[in-house]
Amino acid sequence: MTLYAAYGTNLDPARMGERCPHSPLNTTGWLEGWRLTFGGEEHGWDGALSTIVQDSFERVYVAVYDVTKEDEVALDGWESADSGLYRKTKVRVSTMTGEQVAWTYVLDAYEGGLPSASYLGVLADAAEAASAPDDYVAALRRRPCRSTGL
């Protein structure tokens, strides 16, 4: 097993249960010194894609999963890591019981662009399903986004 820190749509436990059925939730926590942002608008079918970048003044809520090797391979496919769109990086997760080292996906594209309203809604719903604090979920829902009808 290896630890994976989910920050985007994979925060949703139901989604992770479908994508990684052998990988239980370990805990939740924060990536201190990271910021949720968007980029790679040219790669998304509906606006920019979620990613994280280092930022000393921010933090990102994450769910940490114990991922089996089999589920890691499947997740790489879901997240387009096998095609090079996302790459894996190691991060430190601050949890209620201390720090844990986990891997996560980072978009291999320039930061910038806006996500669609529907994608942003899915991100906020996933954070809510993962018991993210109300102010974190509300901030996601208030983020700028592309209007529909592109």
Whether 79 is a known active-site residue: answer: yes
Instruction: Render 23-85 in DSSP notation, one character per residue.
Output: --EEEEEEEEEEEEEEE-TTT-SSB-EEEEEEEEEEEEEEEEEEE-HHHHHHHHHHTTGGGTS
Whether residue 119 is annotated as binding a ligand: the answer is yes
CA distances from 91 to 64, 83, 94, 105 (A): 11, 22, 10, 10
3-state helix, strand, coil in the chain (%, to 5): 30, 45, 25
Rounded distance, CA 82 to CA 105, Å? Answer: 11
Both tokens of residue 3? 């630890």
Catalytic pick among 32, 79, 99, 111: 79
Give the active site residues: 79
Q: Could you tell me which residues are annotated as the binding site for substrate? A: 119
